[in-house]
Chains A and B, each alone.
Chain A
Amino acid sequence: MSFGKAKKQNNKIHIGSRAFDVFLIAFMIIVSIIFLYPFLNVIATSLSSNRMITTGQVTFFPKEFHLDGYKALFKDENILGAYWNTIVIAVGTMIVSLVLNSLMAYVMMAPEFVLRKPLSIILLITMFFSGGTVPTYLLIQNLGLYDSWWSLILPNAVSAYNIFIYRSFYQGISPEIREAARIDGASEFQILTKIYVPLSKALYATFGLFSVVGVWNSYYEALLYIKDPAKQPIQMLLRKIVFTSGTANMSDAQQMISNGNLNSLNVQYACVIATIGPILLVYPFIQKYFAQGVQVGAVKG
């Protein structure tokens, strides 16, 4: 192969690659618009007048702009407290579940561990079979967790699904590192905390985000277990606000009493924004952990 030919080929790849880049960018822009449109419509609707919503004229931009939906939202003095509660619950859940799942995943990663298979099956069973609401409710009461945030944090802290994925991540880390550490006299626990955890930043960022979002969106458990309004998470409060705005159901007579300029969607969609907004702000902070090559050399090829 002559020098010139090789160069030519390289150029060809280069051009093909550039064309691909252009295509990719165009594709991603279109996809982003598709992802974004319903969200923009939700924002626009939350800010538009009853008339414009009812007659179906709202698309990308608010029409006959007003803020009544958001006023209804922030009229509730509890909203900041509820946000705070959710943050505490979310962070608590995140920490507890990351710790417990890591421990279990590490143990199950160890190829020599004798209980590996039985533990896997014990885990797998919990993915498919559950006792239902009432036995869990009774359990929470008997454990004295009722009306406490622990009732939201503990029951789902250990997740079989997550453990299996953690484990597959750990398996991506070269076993020689573990062997070497053991020869150096490190305990299993030290190997996990000093080697595996630092090498799995992306994993922890991902599952940290997942568990925070899971808590962020959930209300059903809080509805069952949290009695004290001062302890309620944000979703519970938002549901209440949507309900209080007076348009949530039509089951009772004359429920469709028109509320002047306020359309039920104003409040409902304002609540959607109140849910999504903070999470979108969090994301960029997590993103940096997805950078490639953080663990160069530590990972098997």
Chain B
Amino acid sequence: MKRETTKRLTAMGMSVAMAAGLFTTMGTTAVWAEDSAPKATAADNGIELPELEDGTLHLEVSIADYQQSSDGTLVQEKWQEAMENYLGCKLDITWTRTPATDYQANELVVLQSGSVPDIATVTKGSAVNEYGEDGTLLNLADYSDYMVYYPEYMKETNGGENFAKNEDGSMYYFMDGFYNPDDIQGAQSFTAFAYRFDLLKENGWQPAATLDEFTQLCSDMQAKIDDGSLDLDYVIINNTKDYSLYRGFVGIFHTWDCLYYNGEEWVFGPIEDNFRECLKYLNSLYEAGYIDPEFATADFNQGQTKATTNVGGICPTLWSGSVASWNAAKTDDNMEWGLAYLPENTEYGTAWKWGSRQAAKSLNANMGIYISAETEHPEYAVAMIDYQYSDEMVNLMNWGVEGETYTEADGTKTFVDDILNDATPATKSAEYGLTSSSVCRTGIPFNPIDFNAMLEVASNPEPWWNAEKGYYEGKYWVESDANGGEDSVSPYDRAPVTYLTAEESSAKAELGYGGTCETRVKELALQFITGENDINDDDAWEDYIDDIKSQTDEDFDEIIETLNEKTVK
């Protein structure tokens, strides 16, 4: 019965044309290039797995599904083959696939109910530890004899094994791995300002490399707007009301807009003097009339409209990918949005960026995979997930099959033209079931992504600028690494391990993004930017700090103290 459902799903998940292509490849394993194919076995790795009664491992697996299901894809089939080969048994998996956004809503309810599937995706990170302590989840540390590859990831991560384990050495989920072979420490977003390149070129300006240059550029643009020679309403617009304008500026002042680790200790950024400096600067821009007054009230759709209809010339706070989508939707042929790394404040040096990738192998505590304590064959389940962290499996899931989805020459891998020449390479690669597409997750998510593979298909080039190269095209992750360099990696992104209880974590959440304090900051900081409250008035600033600190349920200073005490240095 279960089998049938799975099979039917497989059939439904594929378009007819694709299915035809797939079955041919499945039949001919000869295409399978010998050198790249996963061929390790647990036995070879010295793992002794107990005998299975009927030689078949039956598992119920519940996973978060991304935009395209991996069900029935080439890579998923290969994953199954490789897994069976590794474990030395037949695999009979009953999959439950839930769209990732809904999965999050569902996850805690399932955990709280206590009846969990054999293996499942984790999207709530360390929040699952609680369920491990009470015996719902398997303590993976007890099964380290069945792991070969995962320990390697633990070692390379910032903080080492401490990072992946709890204070008492227990470990209730495999964390999401990331493989960054070329050590590209690029960032996710909010690391570059967007400028109207066409207007800059036309007027002989260029994006700002320093904050002073930025101020000057704003003033120059404003002058041209005022005399009518520049068809814009304002110099600066914002991307969406959901992100405060200051978010793009805090890194320039070497502070943060919520709780962060500054290299020595945990601090709440918005009450630091640097943050006040930042607000002073924004206030000066606002007073000068450079900023669109709707910067805090227009939503995402309106922000898009503003960007594409000549409302503003600079958008400092924005998600990566925005520029590409604006350029795709422009109505004016000359319009060209582009990016330049955050301008440098000479007082502080290179601006910090947010969410930069670690070099080499790393783990992400927010996501992962847990195993039920009740599962019949924990040894197999552990060995199976562990194998997903092997180089050959990472290669399979990210690059696919040599000759089929990628080619390798001189140690450099490239996807085949069929993928790269597609209008949307990400979607095309997802049809093969490649995890690197970012829109499809093969195997049991979350398993390691190969950054190079991901950059090839899932990152669109956007117009960039820097002082040396001038105007050019580049990808956000790569350029935010190249232009920011080592100095731009904020200490927050390399924070040490902190062991917290559930209550301490929820107290910490009050100071994090979306928490009570941070939301209050957004509101009060805005009043300083618009001049409704005087940023130069020390009393007003003191009141602001008191107000922020009064928001927490527990004592504000104590929360930060506890964090610092519990940090392993």
Contacts and interface: CB of A to CB of B under 8 A. Distances in A.
A and B touch in the complex (CB under 8 A): yes
Contacts of A55: 305, 308-309, 329-331
Contact of A255 (B97, B112, B113, B321): B321
Interface residues of B, number: 50
Nearest to A243: B99
A224 B109 contact: yes
Interface stretch (B100-108, B134-142, B268-276): B100-108
Interface string A239-265: 110011110111011111111100001
Interface in B184-202: 188-189
B109 A133 contact: yes
B324 A258 contact: yes
Contacts of B324: 256-258
B233 to A, nearest CB: 14
21 contacts: A50-B328, A55-B309, A137-B109, A141-B113, A223-B102, A223-B106, A239-B99, A239-B101, A244-B99, A245-B67, A246-B439, A253-B438, A254-B459, A255-B321, A256-B320, A257-B321, A257-B325, A258-B321, A258-B325, A258-B329, A260-B423
Given A250-B319, A254-B320, A257-B460, A56 B302 contact: yes
Q: Which of B99, B322, B439, B460 has the most CB of A within 10 A?
A: B99
A58 to B, nearest CB: 11
B12 A77 contact: yes
Interface stretch (A105-113, A178-186, A225-233): A225-233
B67, B112, B305, B309 interface centre (most CB from chain A within 10 Å):
B67
Interface in B286-342: 301-302, 304-305, 308-309, 319-322, 324-326, 328-331
A223 B5 contact: no
Contacts of A243: 67, 99-102
A256 B355 CA distance: 17
A54 interface: yes
B173 interface: no
B476 interface: yes
A138 interface: yes
Most buried by B among A54, A227, A250, A254: A254
Interface hub of A50, A53, A134, A245 (most chain B Cβ within 10 A): A134
Contacts of B326: 54
Contacts of B458: 254, 257
Given A141-B113, A141-B115, A254 B460 contact: yes
B305 A54 contact: yes
Interface in B83-107: 96-102, 105-106
B68 interface: yes
A10 interface: no
Interface in B61-82: 67-68
A184 B427 CA distance: 74
Nearest to A138: B113
Nearest to B323: A256
Interface of A: 50-51, 53-56, 77-78, 133-134, 137-138, 141, 220, 223-224, 227-230, 239-240, 243-246, 248-250, 252-260, 265
B40 to A, nearest CB: 30
Contacts of B355: 253
Nearest to B110: A137
Contacts of A240: 99
A106 to B, nearest CB: 37
B424 interface: yes
A253 B188 contact: yes
Nearest to A50: B329
B5 A230 contact: yes
Contacts of A244: 67-68, 99
B426 interface: yes
A50 B309 CA distance: 14
Contact of B321 (A78, A230, A254): A254
Given A54-B325, A248-B101, 20 more contacts: A50-B328, A50-B329, A51-B328, A54-B326, A56-B309, A229-B9, A230-B8, A239-B99, A243-B101, A246-B427, A250-B319, A253-B188, A253-B189, A253-B477, A256-B319, A257-B324, A257-B460, A259-B424, A259-B427, A260-B423
B426 A257 contact: yes
A137 B68 contact: no
A243 B67 CA distance: 6
